[in-house]
Amino acid sequence: MAGFKAHFVTAAITGGWVGTALLQGAVIEPYGVLAGFFLTTLGGLLPDVDADHSIILATGMTVMAVIASFLFMFSQREGHSVMELVALWLGCYLFFKWIVFGFVTRLTIHRGLFHSIPAAVLGGVLTVILLQHLFGWSERASWLGGAFLWLGYMVHLILDEVTSLNVFRLQGVGHSLGSALKFHGPGLFSTLGVYLAIFFSLSLLPEASRWWYD
């Protein structure tokens, strides 16, 4: 399977290309390109948050927690003092660093359910919901943000499968082939849990039809 550097670079390049194309098509503003770049890169790293012993990955997750905390702080800047904003940043950072990432690494196994298509869908759906309700983004921006994260997630899974094919090597197909682009995890209950989470999360999504054809 591909390493951290390959996933990071591939997701970042994809996010940059797609963001630039949407900018040229007047779909997003320049700041939207930066947000899309960040979310696609984040999505490209998320499937490996279950790699408990990766120092490089832990560093990457820390950087992502810092950036997410700044985004949250900026979204709440109106009506708050500097000290309150600092407290919000710190609380958000600790939440992502020690609760979200810590919870995930303790309850998952590498190449498990996080390396699956339903996990990518759930990640995109939850991103749309969080961007609208927690960060205060518009419906259009929230949907695009969720799409960017989903895109990065899928790029990671596809890259892992392509790497498993060993196209440029002579030792044959890798043993990890089929362990990324799948629709289930090793456990029945965890798989059902993800599909149920997707089902219930759909009811929280903002209306898309009002702006999709604008």
Same domain, 132 and 80: no
The domain boundary residue, chosen from 107, 124, 143: 107
Helix axis angle for 55-75 and 4-24, nearest 10°, is: 30
Same domain, 144 and 202: yes
Helix axis angle for 55-75 and 30-45, nearest 10°, is: 150
Domain of 102 in residue numbering reads as: 51-107
Q: Which long-range contacts (CB under 8 A, 24 or more apart) does 58-64 make?
A: 60/4, 60/8, 61/97, 61/101, 62/97, 64/96
CA atoms of 211 and 61, how far apart (whole Å): 33
Q: Which residue has the higher pLDDT, 53 or 185?
A: 185
Same domain, 35 and 94: no
Banded pLDDT at 99 (limits 50, 70, 90) = confident
pTM of the predicted model as reported, rounded to 2 decimal places: 0.76
**167: buried, middle or exposed (CB in 10 Å: 19+, 13-18, 0-12)?**
exposed
pLDDT for 144-194, tens place per residue? 999 999 999 999 999 988 887 765 554 544 555 556 688 887 778 878 888
Backbone phi and psi for residue 109, each to the nearest 5 degrees, phi listed first: -115, 150
Share of the chain above pLDDT 90, in %: 29
Same domain, 69 and 155: no
Same domain, 18 and 71: no
Same domain, 120 and 198: yes
Same domain, 76 and 159: no
Same domain, 121 and 193: yes
How many degrees, rounded to 5, is the angle at CA 99 between CA 201 and CA 117? 40
pLDDT for 115-129, tens place per residue? 889 999 999 999 999
CA atoms of 5 and 22, how far apart (whole Å): 26
Banded pLDDT at 26 (limits 50, 70, 90) = confident
Cβ contacts of 141 within 8 Å, gap of 6 or more = 32, 35, 131
Number of domains in the chain: 2
Same domain, 142 and 188: yes
Same domain, 117 and 145: yes
Same domain, 78 and 177: no
Share of the chain above pLDDT 70, in %: 78
| 110 three-state secondary structure | coil
Residue among 109, 199, 202, 119 at smallest CA distance from 154: 119
Same domain, 79 and 97: yes
Banded pLDDT at 51 (limits 50, 70, 90) = low
Q: Which residue has the higher pLDDT, 79 or 153?
A: 153
Q: What is the pLDDT of residue 211?
A: 55
